[in-house]
Amino acid sequence: MRRDLEELTSETLKEVQTLEIVLPEIYKDVFYTKAKLKNIKIDLDDKEEALIYALKKIQKIENQTKHSADILKDSVQKAKVAIEKKDTKNLENIQENMQKLEEKINKLQEELLTDDLTTVYNRRWLFNSFLEDEKFKEDGVLAFIDIDDFKEINDVHGHLIGDKVLKLLAQTLKRLQDCFITRYAGDEFLVLSNLKTLGQIEEKLLTILKNLKSTGLKSGDSVFTISFSYGLSSFSKGENIKDIIEKADTNMYNYKNSKA
C-alpha cells in the first residue's frame, strides 16, 4: 500500500479508537476529511486497500489485547495457587511473566499514542495525557508550528521527500528539553511545556529555525531548505485547548505574514 495511504489509514484508526461507538459512516467521514486536509486523492482501489489494511490492524490490536487479558487472568489464578502452596519458585516465574506482559502492554499503548511517521506523540496522547475534558491539567506554554510551503514541497519533490521533511522537523523538535512534541495534523506540530517560559521556547525555536535554514536537503539534482512559522500562547489550568490553539494559530499566521 502507498505510504501516504497507510499513514492516513493509521491516523484515522487512532482517532476513531477514542470513540465509544465506531460506525462505518464515522470511519469514512474521518478518513476522507483527513485525506482532504493532506491533499491525498483517493480512488476506488485505494479505498478498498485502505479498508482491508484498517480491518487487519484492528484485528491485530484486538487479538493482542485479548491474548494479554487471557495471560493476565491465567497468571492471577496461578499466583493464587502458588501463594496457597507457598511455591516460591512458581511465584518467581509468574512475576517474570507478568513483567513481560507489562512490557508488551506498554508497547501496544505506546503504539496507540505515537504518530506512525514521525514517532512523536499524536493527538490521542494529547487528549489522554495532557488534558482532562479538553482542558489543561496545569499551567504552561504552547507553540503552534506550521511548515512553510509544505504543499509546494510535496508537489515539487514528492510525498516521500515531504515525509522526510516531517521526520526531520519532528526529530529536531524532540531534542527540546522539558517539552512534549505532538503532531497535531498534517504539517502542524505542537510544543507544550509546564517548565519553560514563552521566551525560552521562542529562543529555542529560533535556533532550530536558523539551523534548518542553513541545512540543505537533496531531492534529485536539486537542493532546498525548509522553514516553519510558529505562534506562542501561555495557558492556565482549566483553560480549553481549542481556545489556546486558536490564539497560537492567530499568532502563527501573523508571524507568517510578517515574513512575506
28-39 confidence digits (pLDDT tens): 666 666 777 777
Q: Please state the pTM of the whole predicted model.
A: 0.63
State percent of the chain over pLDDT 70. 61
Residues contacting 169, CB < 8 A, separation 6+: 118, 145, 147, 189, 212, 226, 228
Question: What burial class does residue 187 get, using C-beta atoms within 10 Å of its C-beta: 0-12 exposed, 13-18 middle, 19+ buried?
Answer: buried
What's the rounded Cα separation, in Å, for the pair 243 and 240?
6
Cell 512559522, residue located = 229
Q: What SS3 state is found at 182?
A: strand
Q: Mean of the per-residue pLDDT values for the chain?
A: 79
Expressed in angstroms, the distance from the first to the final Cα of the chain is 38
In a domain, 141, yes or no: yes
The least confident of 65-79, 185-199, 240-254 is 65-79
Q: Do both 102 and 128 map to the same domain?
A: no
Q: What SS3 state is found at 31?
A: helix
164-198 pLDDT, tens digit per residue, is: 999 999 999 999 999 999 999 889 999 999 999 99
Task: Give the count of domains, the chain.
Answer: 2
Q: Do both 81 and 209 map to the same domain?
A: no
143, 191 Cβ separation under 8 angstroms:
yes
Q: Do both 158 and 67 map to the same domain?
A: no
Query: Domain residues for 50?
Result: 3-113
In a domain, 118, yes or no: no
Q: Do both 103 and 230 map to the same domain?
A: no
248, 146 Cβ separation under 8 angstroms:
no
Last residue of a domain, one of 62, 78, 113: 113
CA atoms within 13 A on the CB side of 246: 5
Q: Do both 129 and 249 map to the same domain?
A: yes
> Grid coordinates in use for 34?
483527513
| Helices and strands per DSSP (H, E), number in the chain | 9, 8
Residues contacting 106, CB < 8 A, separation 6+: none
Residue 207 or residue 15, greater confidence: 207
Q: Indicate which CATH number applies to the domain containing 249.
A: 3.30.70.270
Cell 506550521, residue located = 146
**Residue type at position 104:** K
